[in-house]
Amino acid sequence: MFFSADRPNYMNYGGIGYVIGHEITHGFDHQGRLFDKKGNLREWWHPETSDKYMVRTECMIRQYSNYIADKEARLRIDGLHTIGENIADNGGVMLAYNAYGRWLANKTEPRLPGLYEYSGRQMFWINAANIWCSVYRPETLKHIVLTGVHPPGQYRVIGTFQNQPEFANDFKCPLGSYMNPKKKCKVW
């Protein structure tokens, strides 16, 4: 479930907020950026903006290309093939987190039973990760990696969260740790 008026907003922003942010960001990914406000295929960005954009996407392409979905089969994610979804995931979670932060200002939310030790901001991340929770049969994983434009769910979470300083801050991940690498990629 992505949304319910009967649950804390950290779950709604980490669910439907993330998905909405993801879809909005597609308008500015490697394909969406090529269309103007009327939907016409037209280069409308200033050349300097396009050049900076390409540098930022290269960082993300390298990052995701370093993930190995199946070590035994040596099945590596193709960061170029998944770049549009990776940009959308990274931008979407950032938009949703910032929106949640604005909503949360000077408010508190109830904790979930059994998860009292997690703050609302931490629960945002937990719910955002939960939407990509999945288990694949080996042949399905291979098919996803070789033909899909989305990386497997695990890497949609890891790759996106590694790039978010807010995630590292909320979970107190030391700089240089797996989930808080010194080099982060950011397109938007």
| Alpha helical stretches, state H, the chain | 9-12, 18-25, 47-65, 83-104, 120-130, 138-147, 153-162, 165-171
DSSP 150: S
| 23 is annotated as an active-site residue | yes
| 89 is annotated as an active-site residue | yes
Catalytic residue among 29, 89, 166, 170: 89
Catalytic residue among 6, 23, 48, 139: 23
CA dist 157 and 56 (Å) reads: 19
| Chain-centre distance for alpha carbon 41 | 26
CA dist 151 and 145 (Å) reads: 6
Instruction: List, by residue number, the catalytic residues.
Output: 23, 89
